[in-house]
Chains A and B, each alone.
Chain A
Amino acid sequence: MKVTGAQAIIKALEIENVTHIFGYPGAAICPFYNALLDSNIKHILTRHEQGAAHAANGYARVTGKTGVCVATSGPGATNLITGIATAYMDSIPIVAITGQVPTNLIGRDVFQEADITGATAPFCKHNYLVKNVEDLPRILKEAFHIASSGRPGPVLIDVPIDVQNSELHFKYPEEIDIRGYKPTYKGHPLQIKRIAEAIEKAKFPVICAGGGIISGKARDELMELVIKCNIPVVTTLMGIGSIPTDHEMCLGMLGSHGSYFANYAIHNADLIIIMGARVGDRAMASANKIAEKASIIHIDIDPAEIGKNIDVEIPVVGDVKSILQDLLQVVKKGDTDEWLEKIRKVRQEHTAKRKGTDEDIDQDGAVKPKFLLKMLSKMMEDDDAVITTEVGQNQIWAANNLTIRKPGKFITSGGMGTMGYGLPAAVGAKVGCPNTRVITISGDGSFQMSLQELGTIKQHKLGIKIVILNNSRLGMVRELQKMKYCSRYSHVSLEDNPDFVKLAYAYGINGERITKNFEVEDALKRMLSDDKAYLLDCVVDPEEPTL
């Protein structure tokens, strides 16, 4: 039987087990939207295409599936770009489908034409312009395969409207063979043996766990290694949740915005085992200085990440789960007692020094973000909540002060640092896990980059909790200007912010504003008391430091 190109796309999505998609229609994608009406796939209409891309991202991160977003040609497609680039930098599998002007008009600057395959090539894992309707089934199969295998990432498919309307005999390929794409999964046995030997020999080993542990679903294997060999763990921003943040072996996040102990451990280690992390400059600014002191093992599915930013002694390419499984067969415990004792002491001293800053805070003062976040974690001890964040101080406060016990529960834009990510990512997370509590931690600046998604939240009855840490400033940039530019504040004030609670009301969402620390506990209780959407606007002192 013949189907149209648009119907073929829908059929392919169904075969790929896609149940929810995020998008925004327009003329050039109308055949697709028309065919969508005959399918059981649920479509979430966002209020901006960037929101659709971020929502697909959040959805992918909580479900472990590939997220799908859809947009029309031209401005719809270009609005996806920031979302696609965000997914690329964090290795999140999404498939973006865009409409395009008719094939015979491509390249003539006609109405709503944009060269979206050209524009997204730098931050797509791969992309396609479909010229022949017969290619659609193969391309969709390839796109889902490429997005979700190897190092995951975004794939874009640009489909001209005439291709959506042409007919084909639909046959979904059973197998695919992409000559240039054969990710390595199995780690080299010799290299794995070398890791085992290095671990046995090391006196001061530390594991650096990145987002690859989470996307590679290697949490259990990581924990087994940590416990078997007594090795402490630091995480990257993307790796938060790969080990429970309140586990005694977890030293917190490393890097310029990380914890003191995490950085202490990295700088004093004699062996650093990097797993599924790309050694970004924010995590390891002086990567090669670190490498001079310690031996580096780097495990990654993407060979291009190994040796890119740091000199590596033992490189291992492959799937971190499978490599850890193999490693656990051969590795023996070394002697790390002295090291753990040293770290324990440093932690104690440091905690003692900080006492009083966290505990004895002024209850009449403005809301203290760290206090609020710790309180929130305490109140949700047994809750399986997903937290998304925006970018800025709010993100770092959340990363360092929340208790995150499971992978996929902390969702943030690590690689790009995209403001306006948290709210739509929460939309995707809630759609993906409707029975899980989803909370987004936001700054007043970031919130205003995608607050229109309040409409999406309302329309689709998504019970998302929004906590705005409101300093009426672009807090993190202001802090930078304070420290590096002698407090010459240049355009970081948002003093005439709207009343966010009223704004929420305008969207039919409840909320409240608190200004004092003593109000935190009750306000959080009210917020968590049901599963409806709620906005909590918290007034924070602009001078509040990030760390």
Chain B
Amino acid sequence: MAKHILSVLVENHAGVLSRVAGLFSRRGFNIDSLAVGITENPEVSRMTIVVDGDEYTVEQVSKQLNKLINVIRVKKLEAQDSVRRELALIKVNASASTRSEIIQIVEIFRAKIVDVSKNTLTIEVSGDEEKVGALEDMLKQFGIKEIVRTGLIALERGNRHIKANNNDEE
């Protein structure tokens, strides 16, 4: 099944997240990931939701989201027209003999080492899902101890943007 990205502007009120998440479970939609944060307007938050499903499902999800009173706008983002990023922290086993190899891989991926211990390295990486996945794959051989990922966030490329206050898009 295809993955679709929805960019959702919501009122920054208590309970909105649970309404949105509840809608998904109630209606049997699958959320792949959901990332929330405040926008340039402190009264408005943006949720980036990755949905698993066909066109019909995405349309239903969008319509149902639009029905929520606290949802201001819902927009489906096309992969090719948007910048997509995810942040991940990966804690991997590292011994004296493997350490330099890991550091090399990290450099190739333009990732960062953010914590070091005797037996581990913690790596910060950002990028689209493929990049994060590829790094994870490369690090598997050393033994991954823990991973945390933020879920995808995305914005449209160029001049286009979604506004909270009116329906205009440039």
Which residues of A does B touch, CB under 8 Å? 117-118, 121-122, 125-126, 129, 146, 178-181, 302-304, 307-308
Q: How far is the CA of A181 from the CA of B15 in the complex (A)?
A: 17
Interface pick from B66-74, B76-84, B100-108, B123-131: B66-74
Chain A proximity mask over B12-29: 1 for CB below 8 Å, otherwise 0: 001100110010001000
B63, A129: Cβ atoms under 8 Å?
no
Task: Give chain B's interface residue range (CB within 8 Å of chain A).
Answer: 20 to 34
A302, B67: Cβ atoms under 8 Å?
yes
Q: How far is the CA of A67 from the CA of B58 in the complex (A)?
A: 35
Q: How far is the CA of A133 from the CA of B72 in the complex (A)?
A: 25
B32 interfacial by beta-carbon distance below 8 Å: no
B30 interfacial by beta-carbon distance below 8 Å: no
Measured CB to CB, the closest approach of chain B to A37, in angstroms, equals: 33
Q: How far is the CA of A129 from the CA of B19 in the complex (A)?
A: 13
B19, A121: Cβ atoms under 8 Å?
yes
Residues of chain B contacted by A178 (CB below 8 angstroms) = 69
The one of B14, B63, B70 in contact with A180, judged by C-beta atoms closer than 8 angstroms, is B70
Residues of chain A contacted by B64 (CB below 8 angstroms) = 304
B121 interfacial by beta-carbon distance below 8 Å: no
Of chain B, the residue at the smallest CB distance from A311 is B56
Q: How far is the CA of A178 from the CA of B18 in the complex (A)?
A: 20
Do A180 and B71 contact each other (CB < 8 Å), given the known contacts A122-B26, A303-B66?
Answer: yes
The one of A121, A125, A129, A180 in contact with B11, judged by C-beta atoms closer than 8 angstroms, is A180
B47 interfacial by beta-carbon distance below 8 Å: no
Do A122 and B60 contact each other (CB < 8 Å), given the known contacts A180-B10, A303-B66?
Answer: no
Q: How far is the CA of A122 from the CA of B10 in the complex (A)?
A: 18
Residues of chain A contacted by B11 (CB below 8 angstroms) = 179-180
Residues of chain A contacted by B69 (CB below 8 angstroms) = 125-126, 146, 178, 180-181
Q: How far is the CA of A307 from the CA of B60 in the complex (A)?
A: 9
B59 interfacial by beta-carbon distance below 8 Å: yes
Of chain B, the residue at the smallest CB distance from A179 is B72
Q: How far is the CA of A118 from the CA of B165 in the complex (A)?
A: 28
A303, B63: Cβ atoms under 8 Å?
yes
Q: How far is the CA of A126 from the CA of B13 in the complex (A)?
A: 13
Residues of chain A contacted by B15 (CB below 8 angstroms) = 117, 129
Q: How far is the CA of A303 from the CA of B18 in the complex (A)?
A: 23
Residues of chain B contacted by A146 (CB below 8 angstroms) = 69
B18, A118: Cβ atoms under 8 Å?
yes
